[in-house]
Amino acid sequence: MSEANTALGDTPLVYLASGSPRRRAILEELGISYSLLAVDVDEIAGGTAYATVEENARRKLLAGLVVARVAHAGTEEEKTRPGWPRHEGAIVVAADTVLEAQGRLLGKPGDEAIAEQYLRILSGGTAIAHSAVAVAAAGAGEGCLATETAEVHFKTLSHEVIRWYLSTGEPMGRAGAFGIGQLGEVLTESVDGCYSCVSGLPKTALISALSRVAGEQLPPWLRSVPSGLTGTRAQLHSLAIDLP
């Protein structure tokens, strides 16, 4: 499944290795033309928050780059499939997010009982959203990995509120059983840091990483990002790309 959000002709594309509607929306908010790449990776769920999101973002990026590489070696029939990467130098973007609360990493709940447990942990407290963005050009030996954090302060969630939120189905498949980009926002009191970091694709980290590895794939206003934009919450470092 994949589609471009604008008609781009021969312009190289940014490819998002994610099925998240919120991540798609964030790229659109930034004016970044993209297509989707479906990737299937085994995510880790342990270690420190930073190690978890960085490793998961790296795995998704490598899986996306493999798809992009295979695309250029595929048959003509394969290359006509929707979303097939058609441009040399395509940029692949991948991301991962977890919430950390009460010393625990809250990933995607496996069932409703775990989702309810997570929401009880979040109730009346503060959680740290840790997000990582991994970016690289197809065929490059090095990319960029950026991390960002934000603190989310939650209202005290009654049993009735938790059961109502569970009934919406929104907590499933979301880090911490909570989606701030939709109904989940009403569970919060405030956010310290970038809202998009909690949504799963932090804009500061994304823009900074893209500016290091991308060029004509981006709109002009994103090609040269001032160093001061990174601030204190986003951290960038190089990422070696070693595909099998």
Q: Which residues are catalytic?
A: 96
Using H for helix, E for strand and C for coil, what is the string for the chain?
Answer: CCCCCCCCCCCCCEEECCCCHHHHHHHHHCCCCEEECCCCCCCCCCCCHHHHHHHHHHHHHHHHHHHHHHHCCCCHHHHCCCCCCCCCCCEEEEEEEEEEECCEEECCCCCHHHHHHHHHHHCCCEEEEEEEEEEEECCCCEEEEEEEEEEEEECCCCHHHHHHHHHCCCCCCCHHHCCCCCHHHHHEEEEECCHHHHHCCCHHHHHHHHHHHCCCCCCHHHCCCCHHHHCCCCEEEEEECCCC
